[in-house]
Amino acid sequence: MSNFPSLDYARPFMADALNYLEAAERLWQATGEFSQLFQPIGMLLNHSVELSVKSYCLFCGYSVDRLREEFGHDLFRLYESAMENDLGRWLEVSPNDSAQLKHWNEANIRKHGRFPRRYAEFGEHPGNDKYIRGLARRMLEACFRKSVGDPNEVVNLGLTDFPVR
């Protein structure tokens, strides 16, 4: 363990986020259409984004206990807190990020994505599939940039290119 325990978790969280994103990408490619497997792909993408934001916060010095107790799985509150801690310096922020993430988070908290009927009742947000996929990649890029300390560092997020584990 290092003198900064949160850093002991930051890279493994980032590696796990990459693994969830890769699993989602493989399912997406195998089916050829996101809507066929929306629920499992959506859950994988959501978890990738959550782990990326948590990794970023760990790089900022948050403790694992703070993440667990203060935020739990509330991705929107976590994202807002990360933005207050300069996430915008590392992340290419889209004008729709806040609204789309809030919608996605609400569906996640209420577990709409886990049950087909609940999801159908909640309604799909236009473009949400492509948005959350893009956000998962952008969040991992932000974590990488934060971890190396260079907001201008560009990385191709292929499994062989990403320096984790």
Of the chain, the percentage scoring pLDDT greater than 90 comes to: 25
Give 124's DSSP letter.
Answer: P
Please list the alpha-helical segments (H only) found in 37-149: 38-59, 64-66, 75-84, 87-90, 97-109, 116-122, 128-148
Tokens coding 30? 């195998």
pLDDT in tens, 4-62: 567 788 889 999 999 999 998 888 888 876 666 777 887 888 889 899 999 999 999 99
- CATH of the domain spanning 5-148, picked from 1.20.120, 1.10.132, 3.30.70, 3.30.450: 1.20.120
For the chain, give every domain's residue range. 5-148
- HEC readout, 10-47: HHHHHHHHHHHHHHHHHHHHHHCCHHHHHHHHHHHHHH
